């Protein structure tokens, strides 16, 4: 751990938690929420679906790089690397197997809990005669016409198996010869959980694939069915967009998307009772190694479809609904332009309604004095009101410019469709720098007031997405500050023109000054502490991976600076190492809403600095994306955000987990006599406490 100069090497691998292991640890925390009996049962089911969906994404996005990794490429995987990629893959598989066991145990508990509420998933053999008759009819009328049995032999090409599809592998015999076949389960066309006629006040379901398995012989007349078993494969979905001078960015993204569903196989999960010879037929043809094939119980496969159960209309089994609020000072009757001329505003979603942002666009679209609207869009969701208001503004003669990031992972198709829709009516749509994703959340309205132009600006940690704004906790900021407005206007010019070094007086912009300025502020706290002045750092983010940032935090800790980090997801910093990180505490909150806000606070010897925005502390944010952090300049607003958002998160002792130096997380223990503080509940009960 010592460098050649005898100093501590703060880049030593032992000081970092591997990012893949940290990723899986986050999924463990989600699993804990699914297992928590204090959560309503359908909320637990939702977390179960999230867990399995997260695992799918891990194998689609992270594992392909590891499977193809060599020693030189491993430097790109994270600050804690393995010289042998097989060693890392083995460790990952061990963690995945532990999680899979946890999923199955949790789902068994949830089935029991659901049963007590009159919701049951039945085996076909458990159906009563009337239900069995109904299922037989459903199979003949709705399922069988959709099925295509595919033989696996030398006269038939091995079938393409689509990403994350559910399949049934069939072992057959004809005149002593063993044969194999595959049937795709039409999940998506039909529900995975098929509702069968049920007694009053109950809901009973049968799994779609179990109906198919029960009737599999009908697809292979004249053959003996020796067995049929579920399986699914996961493919590489980490598409790479290749740009050359002959194509535009949209065409390049569309070409890349064509390869997503046909990426190389990464993992196969088979039902635990599947015979080895049958599993080997698929593994061999898919070119999968032994460590890429795992087994799961009948009920432990493809639990992403539990969203169907989580969405049942049983409100008494879900979190109590609450109504987001809007401050009285900016009620519907109040012009937002008038309010913003008086002072800046922050909004903490979903506790405060995202409607205020939509309303800002509505007012801008209808206001005859508004000259132009510019906005950066990353994830916008389906059928967004935001887009309708941008179109309305264009119809009303405003100059509307939209920077649409086409490469937002898994949102590319939707973003391309919306971009084309906007272009058709004359909105100026651009896609940003070819080599950088634009992840900034920016909206600027230019309005003519008394013969001069005034810029009104909205910035946020979250997307312009009305759906996720109800599920993610984010902070947004509205201001008429001319310096902020000038910076944002300059950044829009860079994004629509040619992106490169420019001067910004207030904003921190990645990949230009954001990382270096954060490092400067961390170092300044260390110097304050060394000189006996007040020093403290608190950060709230989704991820902390960047080795340079972590090394600077280690240095500040070694100088005696107290550092509190609230990192929801990946964290490669290893806290609690004596003499290095023993002044650093890391917590993670997993609760009803996805923690998504970013806050960076520095005490600075009584002249505190605070930045909010879209950027996490990860290399992709700091060097591969256009990100923006904006300052909170009003002292009262800063103190209110610090005391009534940031500190509340840091004080959470109900849903917060503490990161240990070995990379594990444990629920935060309350001190003797300490009251419970569940931050998200506190925010719901104290809406608006963060307004200065």
Q: Which residues does the annotation mark as catalytic?
A: 439
3-state helix, strand, coil in the chain (%, to 5): 40, 25, 35
Nearest in space to 365 (alpha carbons), one of 387, 345, 349, 339? 387
Task: Report how far residue 249's alpha carbon sits from residue 432's, in angstroms, rounded to the nearest whole number.
Answer: 9
Q: Are 363 and 337 in contact (CB under 8 A)?
A: yes
Q: Are 567 and 544 in contact (CB under 8 A)?
A: yes
Nearest in space to 365 (alpha carbons), one of 332, 390, 399? 390
Nearest in space to 29 (alpha carbons), one of 678, 471, 680, 657? 657
Outline where DSSP puts E strands in 323-381.
Answer: 345-349, 370-377
Task: Report how far residue 347's alpha carbon sits from residue 421's, in angstroms, rounded to the nearest whole number.
Answer: 30
By the 10 Å C-beta count (0-12 exposed, 13-18 middle, 19+ buried), 169 is classed as: buried
What residues contact residue 221 under an 8 Å CB cut-off, 6+ apart?
A: none
**CB-hemisphere CA count at 13 Å for 272?**
10
What DSSP string runs through 137-170? HHIIIIIGGG---EE-STTSPPPP--TT-EEEEE
**Strand pairing partners for 563?**
537, 584
Q: Phi/psi zone of residue 484: left (φ > 0), alpha (ψ -120 to 50 degrees), beta?
A: alpha
b/e burial code for range 61-73 (CB count within 10 A of at least 16 → b): bbbbbbbebeeee
CB atoms within 10 A of CB 342: 9
Q: Are 475 and 612 in contact (CB under 8 A)?
A: yes
What residues contact residue 30 under an 8 Å CB cut-off, 6+ apart?
A: 47, 50, 51, 54, 590
What DSSP string runs through 184-220? E--BTTB-SEEEE---TT-EEEEEHHHHHHHTGGGGS
> What CA–CA distances, in Å, run from 123 to 36, 211, 214, 675?
26, 9, 10, 46
> What CA–CA distances, in Å, run from 34 to 59, 313, 340, 653?
21, 19, 42, 18
Task: Report how far residue 585's alpha carbon sits from residue 668's, in angstroms, rounded to the nearest whole number.
Answer: 11
By the 10 Å C-beta count (0-12 exposed, 13-18 middle, 19+ buried), 47 is classed as: buried
């Amino acid at each position: 751990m010592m460098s050649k100069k005898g100093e501590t090497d703060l880049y030593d691998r032992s000081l970092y938690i591997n990012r893949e292991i940290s990723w899986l640890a986050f999924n463990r925390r989600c699993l804990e929420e699914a297992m928590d009996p204090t959560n309503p049962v359908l909320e637990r089911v939702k977390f179960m679906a999230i867990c399995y969906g997260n695992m799918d994404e891990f194998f689609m996005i992270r594992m392909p790089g590891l499977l193809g990794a060599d020693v030189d490429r491993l430097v790109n995987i994270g600050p804690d690397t393995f010289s042998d990629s097989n060693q890392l893959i083995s460790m990952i598989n061990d963690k995945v197997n532990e999680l899979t066991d946890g999923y199955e145990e949790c789902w068994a508990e949830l089935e029991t809990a659901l049963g007590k509420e009159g919701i049951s998933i039945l085996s076909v053999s458990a159906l009563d005669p009337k239900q069995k008759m109904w299922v037989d009819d459903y199979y003949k009328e709705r399922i069988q016409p959709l099925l295509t049995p595919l033989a696996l032999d030398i006269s038939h090409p091995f079938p393409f198996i689509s990403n994350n599809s559910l399949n049934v592998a069939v072992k057959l015999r004809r005149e002593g010869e063993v044969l194999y076949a595959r049937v795709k389960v039409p999940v998506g066309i039909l529900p995975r959980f098929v509702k069968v006629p049920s007694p009053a006040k109950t809901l009973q379901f049968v799994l779609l694939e179990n109906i198919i398995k029960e009737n599999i012989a009908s697809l292979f007349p004249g053959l003996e069915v020796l067995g049929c078993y579920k399986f699914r494969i996961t493919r590489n979905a980490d598409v790479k967009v290749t740009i050359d001078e002959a194509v535009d960015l949209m065409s390049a993204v569309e070409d890349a998307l064509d390869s997503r569903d046909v990426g190389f196989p990464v993992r196969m999960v088979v039902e635990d009772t599947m015979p080895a010879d049958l599993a080997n037929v698929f593994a061999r043809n898919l070119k999968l190694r032994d460590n890429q094939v795992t087994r799961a119980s009948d009920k432990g496969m493809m639990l992403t479809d539990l969203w169907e159960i989580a969405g049942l209309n049983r409100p008494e089994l879900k979190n109590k609904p609450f109504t987001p609020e809007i401050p009285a000072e900016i009620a519907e009757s109040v012009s937002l332009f008038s309010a913003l001329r008086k002072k800046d505003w922050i909004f903490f979603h979903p506790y405060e309604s995202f409607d205020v942002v939509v309303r800002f666009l509505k007012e801008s679209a209808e206001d005859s004095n508004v000259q132009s609207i510019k906005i950066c869009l990353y994830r916008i969701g389906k059928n967004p009101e935001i887009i309708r208001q941008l179109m309305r503004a264009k119809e009303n003669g405003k100059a509307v410019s939209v920077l649409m990031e086409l490469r937002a992972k898994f949102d590319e198709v939707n973003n391309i469709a919306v971009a084309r829709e906007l272009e058709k009516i004359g909105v100026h749509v651009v896609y940003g720098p070819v080599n950088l994703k634009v992840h900034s959340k920016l909206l600027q309205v230019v309005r003519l007031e008394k013969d001069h132009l005034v810029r009104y600006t909205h910035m946020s940690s979250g997307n312009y997405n009305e759906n996720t704004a109800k599920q993610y906790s984010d902070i947004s900021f509205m201001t008429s500050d001319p310096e902020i407005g000038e910076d944002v206007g300059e950044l829009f010019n860079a994004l629509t023109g040619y992106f490169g070094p420019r001067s910004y007086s207030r904003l921190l912009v990645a990949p230009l000054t954001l990382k270096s300025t954060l490092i400067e502020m961390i170092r300044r706290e260390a110097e304050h502490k060394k000189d006996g002045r007040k020093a403290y750092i608190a950060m709230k983010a989704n991820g902390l991976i960047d080795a340079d940032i972590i090394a600077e935090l280690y240095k500040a800790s070694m100088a005696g600076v107290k550092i509190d980090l609230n990192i929801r997801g990946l964290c490669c910093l290893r806290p609690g190492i004596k003499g290095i990180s023993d002044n650093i505490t890391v917590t993670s909150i997993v609760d009803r809403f996805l923690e998504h806000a970013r806050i960076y606070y520095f005490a600075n010897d009584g002249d505190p600095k605070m930045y909010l925005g879209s950027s996490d502390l990860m290399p992709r944010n700091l060097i591969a994306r256009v990100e923006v952090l904006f300052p909170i300049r009003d002292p009262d607003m800063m103190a209110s955000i610090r005391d009534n958002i940031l500190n509340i998160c840091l004080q959470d002792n109900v849903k917060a987990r503490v990161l240990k130096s070995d990379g594990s997380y444990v629920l935060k223990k309350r001190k003797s006599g300490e009251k419970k503080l569940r931050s998200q509940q506190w925010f719901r009960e104290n809406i608006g406490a963060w307004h200065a």
